[in-house]
Chain A
Amino acid sequence: MLKTAVKHPEVLAPAGTPEKLRIAIDYGADAVYIGGDAYGLRSRAGNFSFEEMAAGAKYAHERGAKVYVAANIVAHEQNLAGAGEFYRHVRDAGIDAVIVSDPSLIETAITEAPGLKVHLSTQASATNYETLNFWQHEGLERVVLAREVGIAEIKEMRQHTDVQIESFVHGAMCIGYSGRCVLSNHLSLRDANRGGCAQNCRWKYDLFDIPELGQKRELMGHNAEGKIEKFSMSAVDMSMIEHIPDLVDAGVDSLKIEGRMKTVHYVSTVANVYSTAVRSYCEDPEHYQLKQEWVDELWKVAQRELSTGFYYGTPNEDFQLFGKRRRLPHYAFVGEVLGYDDVTKQVTVQQRNNFGIGDQIEFYGPHFAHHTQIVKDLFNDENEPIERAPHAMEIVHFTCEQPVKPGDFLRAQSKL
């Protein structure tokens, strides 16, 4: 049977700041998730005030996109006061849904902010369809699955529930069941479930047993270089770009990208790639082809190696970081296009990282526009020739052979 156009699932991007919210949407995200000043798990991400939420929601809604607020801490006694008011403010800011993990906060959102839609956070480790049914029965619109759920399991869930399913497709992963890890609480006195995770899983540990009473014995093995390799629990990152059809066909309603702490460069690139791939597949599934340039693009913003997590089975040692990390090609975000003069072919750029004459610059914009060139000339805002642009946010001009648009970004491969 020929596949005709299929329903387009949402591509959901992280937005740590109002700027990233606008960029994620400009770069194709159908929805973004942000954090508020309270109840979020990313205490160090740039969180949104209620005014910023309202402005962000307006910007998104004018473009047919949605904004969700992550409020997914697990509350202790002293965190409960004020939660209802917080959710009412979120609702009144026009936010499309809150992402919540703690049942007490779910109840607060539902009873004290009527009309506010609620999604279950991945922190609640939903791994089966009866759990999805439970939460739908509670009035939730959507469940974000645990990262331990595979494609075949999602397909089966889809047959047993019609609650919306959201699943992580890209970014960093917890090594344990999210929420079921308090390594950080016990090793660093930082509450993993209240925004303080110290990522202790990524530490290097000594491994022992005690074969005879009182005598502990080291059990560490060796890596390929013959050196002692300590025990670690560090997960590589996830990327499902090569498996978009599986996700769409399994019935995932929202493809989620991790990274509220990540940069503009990351957010724009990943939102761009996934929205392009999903659109391409849904418009014409029969003739869909994965493009290598999408994969290449994601590697440019990768911080760790990439894997498919639990989607196709229990991750083995290749899905963890051991030994020396493979050096990934590292790209820096160097500027944003402010304008382009078609006559003089001069591009005006606001600098974000040091670049200069002789550097190979890649322009990229929404809808996957791409153009690469060497910088051959460079002028400051007074039109004086310069060699490099070292100053943050300075305005510079140079010749760009192909037309580019305001809002396009520039990146360059970092010198290693």
Chain B
Amino acid sequence: MTELVATVASYDQAAALITAGVDRLYLGEDYFGLRLPHSFKPDEIAQIVELAHQHDRKVTVAVNAIFHNDRIKKVTAYLQKMSAIGVDEVTIGDPGAIYLLQQAALDLPYIYDAADLVTSSRQINFWGKHQASGAVLAHEVPYQEMVPLSQQIDIPVEVTVYGAIAIHQSGRPLLQNYSNFVQEHLNKTDRQRGLFISAPHKEETHYSIYEDLNGTHIFANNDLDLMTDLPKLWDLGLRRWKLDGLYADPTNFVKQVAAFAQARDLLDQDQASAVQLADLDQTVRDLQPAERGLDNGFFDLDPNEVK
């Protein structure tokens, strides 16, 4: 069975996402996790876990930040708390956190998530040997590389099929620094502010940028949408699909997720036609924020095109 994972922005949205057909909710607190639609406190996470479990769904909590000494000290207690409230899984990208998870000997599976760095079967299997139950595949792996990869992996991978794609994380407050230099105050630099940059001589490009306590984050020109490519993923057996609503409208995101859930059901029942997927894709596009384009990222890229 194909598993649909979606980010959560609120308790109410979590309930709606469950109704829309997600199998797994993905959420966390920005002290421990990266680029989340909302920063939930542990008691809020506990409520969502309870809700999810009532509906036989699972919850994954983000523990995938790059930790410095000050924060790594708090990771063990956080993992213990997540385990205690019944979280089904965590994401981890910092090997230090894996080290602590194993020392704590908790019954808490983790999937390895180091953003753009997870690019080969051998690396994925390395984390498998370190008890990872899965890994999040980098967005920069084209379909042509997924084919051999899918035959070699010992643990499942999660493929992002919808959402904003992070392409840069800086430890510096790049927007604040710029603002200070030009001595013109940028009123807020958080995600809600909706700042973006465009590349030289490409005024139509749109790279979202924001700052939070994990630094500065920049996103790809278009959001990812693999709706019409889902059959290829399904055929490869890559059947854990994540939808990232970081930059989506919270209400529309649920409807977009519902479209993907329909596609999943059709594929799992071997009934998906290209026409149906195109229709569902149109639904996703109609619900997309006006200023944010959609494309299928690196999916169709010939690996030799990347130097």
Chain A residues with CB under 8 Å of chain B are: 74-80, 102-104, 106-108, 125, 127-135, 137, 146, 148-149, 153, 156-157, 175-177, 179-183, 185-187, 189-191, 193-194, 196, 200-201, 203-210, 213-214, 216, 219-223, 229, 231-233, 310, 314-317, 319-320, 322-323
Contact = CB atoms under 8 A, between A and B. Distances in A.
B184 to A, nearest CB: 4
B99 A137 contact: yes
B86 interface: no
Given A129-B72, A203-B200, A177 B66 contact: yes
Interface string B74-118: 010000000000000000001111111000000000000001110
Contacts of A210: 194, 291
B281 to A, nearest CB: 22
Interface of B: 66-69, 71-72, 75, 94-100, 115-117, 119-123, 125-127, 140-141, 145, 148-149, 152, 165, 167-174, 176-184, 186, 193-200, 203, 207, 215-216, 218, 220-221, 290-291, 298, 303, 305-307
B169 A221 contact: no
A80 B122 contact: yes
30 contacts: A74-B116, A75-B119, A77-B152, A79-B120, A80-B120, A80-B121, A104-B126, A128-B67, A128-B68, A128-B94, A130-B97, A134-B98, A157-B69, A175-B170, A175-B172, A176-B168, A177-B169, A177-B171, A180-B168, A185-B116, A185-B167, A186-B165, A206-B203, A208-B195, A208-B198, A209-B193, A210-B291, A220-B182, A229-B181, A319-B177
A222 B182 contact: yes
Contacts, number: 224
Contacts of B72: 128-131
Given A183-B167, A209-B194, A221-B184, A76 B122 contact: no
Contacts of B183: 221-222
Given A75-B119, A314-B171, A191 B307 contact: yes
Contacts of B186: 219
A137 B218 CA distance: 34
Nearest to A135: B95
Contacts of A213: 290
Nearest to A150: B68
Nearest to A213: B290
Contact of A127 (B68, B126, B180, B207): B68
A269 B215 CA distance: 35
B145 A76 contact: yes
Given A127-B94, A191-B306, A196-B306, 16 more contacts: A76-B119, A80-B120, A80-B121, A127-B69, A131-B95, A131-B99, A146-B66, A148-B68, A187-B199, A201-B168, A205-B198, A205-B207, A209-B194, A315-B172, A317-B178, A320-B174
A323 B181 CA distance: 9
B287 to A, nearest CB: 16
Given A206-B197, A231-B197, A322-B181, A104 B69 contact: no
A127 B215 CA distance: 14
